[in-house]
Amino acid sequence: MYAYDEIDRTLVNERVSEFRDQVKRRLSGELTEDEFKILRLQNGVYLQLHAYMFRVAIPYGTLATNQLRALAHVARKYDRGYGHFTTRQNIQFNWIKLAELPDALADLAKVGIHAMQTSGNNMRNVTSDQWAGVAPGEIEDPRIWSELIRQHTTLHPEFSFLPRKFKIAITASDHDRAAIKIHDIGLRLIRNEKGETGFEVLVGGGLGRTPFIAKTIKHFVHGRDILSYIEAILRVYNQYGRRDNIYKARIKILVHELGIEKFSREVEEEWQHIRNSSLQIDDEVIEDIRSRFTYPAYEKLPHMPDELRQAAADRDFEAWRKNSVAPHKVQGYSIVTISLKPTGGPPGDATAEQMDALADLADKYSFGEIRVGHEQNLALPHVAKRDLPALWKTLDKLGLATPNVNLITDIIACPGLDYCSLANARSIPIAQELTRRFANHELANLIGRLHINISGCINACGHHHVGHIGILGVEKNGEEVYQITIGGRADESAALGNLIGPGVKFDEVADVIEDIVEAYLALRERPEELFIDTVKRLGVEPFKERVYATR
């Protein structure tokens, strides 16, 4: 966990007071909606179909149990008893009243949570690997650097009115769980030949109506220079970004139009002006941040405790363990992913009761810490292996032990037309139907790792472009129509999926996905060949033929 200091607490509390006054002036009519809109957006408040939506930041996906309980409290007191975890380590509440928002923010501020920069054309929540600090083989905890960037960019005047929103993600592992290649800036923590810590810097990734995979702009930037390098990128973007056209305003368009070489030269030139300035980071600054991250006092535990050996006879436990439990850097411990994808449930939703119960479980089994991943699941990062059977039993009672992590029903979906004012089509009912179709665990296991991503409009909040199977809902002649892509991925080999053919109607989507899966099972060379690898080997055609042969 990271311990915020007095500066952070003051900042968050001052923001609450400021927003309380702004809301008061809005409700009295002193501020018009035109004047107020930018202010509410700077505090994570959108207007959606049914009500205001309130988005709260969970920096680098790390939550303490008192913070998760505060989120449960907000869900219960100010909303409808649940929250929705997003693809960028945020949580959204769908039914919040503007008049009560300052009180909700004040309650969250007591535990150091806020909604600053969760919307608007500024630097958004800096995201990271949900396994940060516990993943085996990690260079070092990427949250230290996430926190450095968070501190530097929060309310920074130069980054508060960018041409468009700006997202940064950081990973420190070979396997990218933070989807850095679909971010405006992606940072991969590495070491150079001298053993110095630095970053491979990628730029210009993003999805939406014009998707791009980020390109490497610099293979190594020393850690001490990372703020100045990021600032150089942002200065070039601030100067040349297309403020005249919202559809061309993201940095990905600028990088594409200039070309990575020219963009890189512009950044390099800017960087030379500011590189040796106060933006150069002293070791003490990093050490201070590092010292504010506390890590558990792990026990010396056996690799295979008796409790785990005995529980292995339970098929249901084993099914869950195989999908939900991952190796930890410390012997005797595990990382446990909590699936928020129950059969027939909306992906990423958690009730206040579940949040409270998870907080209790985290206190009991995970040193009081919870993580939030971009796949819309949660994780307990420090669970002793001996505790896994007991944890599983409780999770199962709470409806939080669906054994489907990384399987076909572990679906990423945006809120879609059920909630979102931008959406053209529904996402959640599609996801729900697919979780019912593939509810049989033996079948899901037979299929193996397969990521389905669903978006209800071209803005791509469900990251459909990078789903192994991507589903995009559009509206055509007043009807919901869904375009299907295959072959996308969001990891270190990130790629955009390819369209298989004409869109299909709402009622046909699940049938089409079943056809694609059946084709894959027939075409794969061996059971270990993942769906994504079969698509890579064979291309779209055999799947297209299967889907459209009878349609």
Partner 1 sequence: MTSPLEQKKIKIAGPSVVTANRTWDGIVVYRTAAKGWSADLSEAAIVRSSDDAKALLAESVADDVGAIGPYIAPVQVGEDGKIEPGNLREQIRCTGVTIGQPVQV
Nearer to partner 1, 80 or 152 (CB): 80
Of the residues 176, 270, 375, 480, which one makes contact with partner 1 according to CB under 8 A: 480
Residue 26 contacts partner 1 per CB under 8 A: yes
Using alpha carbons, select from 451, 449, 469 the residue that is nearest to residue 529: 449
Residue 343 contacts partner 1 per CB under 8 A: no
Beta-strand relationship, 185-191 and 127-128: unpaired
Q: How far apart are the first and last CA of the chain?
A: 53
3-state DSSP of 38-86: HHHHCCCEEECCCCEEEEEECHHHEEEHHHHHHHHHHHHHHCCCEEEEC
- E strand or H helix at 476: strand 469-476
Nearer to partner 1, 3 or 27 (CB): 27
For residue 346, the minimal CB distance to partner 1 (Å) is 6
Q: Taking contact as CB under 8 A, which single stretch among the options 49-57, 61-69, 229-237, 270-278 is the one that binds partner 1? A: 49-57
Of the residues 429, 473, 487, 488, which one makes contact with partner 1 according to CB under 8 A: 429
Residue 492 contacts partner 1 per CB under 8 A: no
Question: Distance between CA atoms of 347 and 455, rounded to whole angstroms?
Answer: 12
Of the residues 254, 372, 388, 417, which one makes contact with partner 1 according to CB under 8 A: 417
Residue 29 contacts partner 1 per CB under 8 A: yes
Residue 37 contacts partner 1 per CB under 8 A: yes
Of the residues 5, 24, 27, 312, which one makes contact with partner 1 according to CB under 8 A: 27
Are 342 and 353 in contact by the 8 Å Cβ rule? The answer is no
Residue 482 contacts partner 1 per CB under 8 A: no
For residue 254, the minimal CB distance to partner 1 (Å) is 25
Nearer to partner 1, 66 or 351 (CB): 351
Of the residues 345, 389, 462, 497, which one makes contact with partner 1 according to CB under 8 A: 345
Q: Taking contact as CB under 8 A, which single stretch among the options 63-71, 416-424, 434-442, 533-541 is the one that binds partner 1? A: 416-424
Burial 439-462 (b: 16+ CB within 10 A, else e): eebeebeebbebbbbbbbbbebbb
Question: Distance between CA atoms of 441 and 524, rounded to whole angstroms?
Answer: 20
Residue 528 contacts partner 1 per CB under 8 A: no
Are 479 and 505 in contact by the 8 Å Cβ rule? The answer is yes
Nearer to partner 1, 480 or 491 (CB): 480
Beta-bridge mates of residue 216? 202
Question: Distance between CA atoms of 173 and 143, rounded to whole angstroms?
Answer: 12
Residue 81 contacts partner 1 per CB under 8 A: yes
Of the residues 4, 18, 20, 51, which one makes contact with partner 1 according to CB under 8 A: 51
Residue 437 contacts partner 1 per CB under 8 A: no
Of the residues 8, 11, 13, 47, which one makes contact with partner 1 according to CB under 8 A: 47
Distances (CA, A) of 473 to 122, 373, 506: 28, 24, 9
* CA dihedral for 315, 320, 323, 326, sign (positive or negative): negative
Are 143 and 153 in contact by the 8 Å Cβ rule? The answer is no
Beta-bridge mates of residue 486? 469, 498
**DSSP string over 177-233:** SS-GGGSSEEEEEEE-TT--EEEEEEE--B-TTS-B--EEEEEEEEGGGHHHHHHHH
Residue 419 contacts partner 1 per CB under 8 A: yes
Q: Taking contact as CB under 8 A, which single stretch among the options 12-20, 21-29, 201-209, 287-295 is the one that binds partner 1? A: 21-29
Residue 330 CB neighbours (<10 A): 17
Of the residues 2, 82, 159, 367, which one makes contact with partner 1 according to CB under 8 A: 82
Question: Distance between CA atoms of 145 and 294, rounded to whole angstroms?
Answer: 15
Q: Taking contact as CB under 8 A, which single stretch among the options 55-63, 91-99, 371-379, 497-505 is the one that binds partner 1? A: 91-99
Of the residues 33, 244, 284, 442, which one makes contact with partner 1 according to CB under 8 A: 33
Of the residues 151, 160, 351, 459, which one makes contact with partner 1 according to CB under 8 A: 351
Are 444 and 409 in contact by the 8 Å Cβ rule? The answer is yes
Burial of 433 per CB tally in 10 Å (0-12, 13-18, 19+): middle
Residue 473 contacts partner 1 per CB under 8 A: no
Residue 350 contacts partner 1 per CB under 8 A: yes
For residue 42, the minimal CB distance to partner 1 (Å) is 15
Residue 9 contacts partner 1 per CB under 8 A: no
Using alpha carbons, select from 388, 532, 508 the residue that is nearest to residue 448: 532
Residue 34 contacts partner 1 per CB under 8 A: yes
Nearer to partner 1, 83 or 497 (CB): 83
Are 198 and 222 in contact by the 8 Å Cβ rule? The answer is yes
Residue 341 contacts partner 1 per CB under 8 A: no
Site string for partner 1, 93-132 (x = CB under 8 A): --xxxxx---------------------------------
Of the residues 107, 316, 418, 514, which one makes contact with partner 1 according to CB under 8 A: 418
Binding residues for partner 1, rule: CB under 8 A, are 26-29, 32-34, 37, 47, 49-52, 80-82, 95-99, 344-346, 349-352, 417-419, 426, 428-429, 432, 478, 480
